[in-house]
Amino acid sequence: MSRSRRAAAFALVIAVAALTTSCAAWKRFQYEGFDRDVWQKPDEVIALLGIGAGDRIADIGAGGGYFTFPFADAVGPTGRVYAVDVDDILIAYLDERVREERRENVVVVRGAYDDPILPDGEIDLVFLANTYHHIEDRPAYFRRVQTDLAPGGRVALVELDDRSWFPRVSGHFTAAEQIQAEMTEAGYRLAENHDVLERQSFLVFEPDE
């Protein structure tokens, strides 16, 4: 399909969906689409991150909880997942889902745009999927996040890059080289670079002590 036809089909899907779904469901669809597991490989992401029972994870920009709830399963009852977002509709959706599913190890947090508002020194893994490009002044933000990390804590960034058509149409991406430069400025070093996601970079950073 040509690029213009793809863009037209994409716009049509958006228009139809926007007219027929609730706001939270529509937002989730925008982030998750129809076949996300195929390219997002959540099980592989979780395995590569080595998440285990008792871990404390912050899913910043949790959205509809695509990663939040699998993380909660992985960390178990002794672990904790902080689902951070700034969007009222998604926070209400997450709160409702946590209540309905009795997810006692998930804490929904209304973050500030410049601070995820997490407990100091208690987070083993800060995780962002497709959210990095939303953060303003990223070096300052991630420098602040260092105070939230427990000893040995890491920051994992899964971010659309510019190799596929969607990021180019939507503008929602950050090149991996730019992420590395900004995280270096924020005081981190690259610990892992996983080349397993065809549409996204998957980088793991640790504080550069």
Q: Which residues bind ligand SAM (CB under 6 A)?
A: 31-32, 60-63, 66, 84-87, 90, 111, 113, 129-131, 134-135
Query: Which is nearer to ligand SAM, 1 or 38 (by Cβ)?
Result: 38
Query: Which is nearer to ligand SAM, 131 or 180 (by Cβ)?
Result: 131
Start-to-end C-alpha separation, the chain:
49
Is the CB of residue 208 less than 8 Å from the CB of residue 187? yes
* Distance (Å, whole) CA 137 – CA 158: 18
Query: Residue 15 CB, nearest distance to ligand SAM (Å)?
Result: 19
Query: Residue 201 CB, nearest distance to ligand SAM (Å)?
Result: 14
Query: Residue 62 CB, nearest distance to ligand SAM (Å)?
Result: 6
Query: Residue 34 CB, nearest distance to ligand SAM (Å)?
Result: 14
Residue indicated by tokens 């180019």: 168
DSSP label of 96: H
Query: Residue 152 CB, nearest distance to ligand SAM (Å)?
Result: 24
Is the CB of residue 105 less than 8 Å from the CB of residue 76? yes
Query: Which is nearer to ligand SAM, 85 or 182 (by Cβ)?
Result: 85
For the chain, helix, strand, coil in percent to 5 are 45, 25, 30
Q: What is the dihedral of CA 37, 41, 42, 44, to 10 degrees?
A: 150
Q: 94-103: long-range contacts (C-beta < 8 A, 24 or more apart)? A: 94/62, 94/64, 94/65, 94/68, 97/65, 97/69, 101/69, 103/69, 103/72
Query: Residue 64 CB, nearest distance to ligand SAM (Å)?
Result: 6
Query: Which is nearer to ligand SAM, 26 or 78 (by Cβ)?
Result: 26
Query: Which is nearer to ligand SAM, 60 or 197 (by Cβ)?
Result: 60
Q: What are phi and psi of 164, to 5 degrees?
A: -110, 170
Q: Which residue has its beta carbon closest to ligand SAM?
A: 63
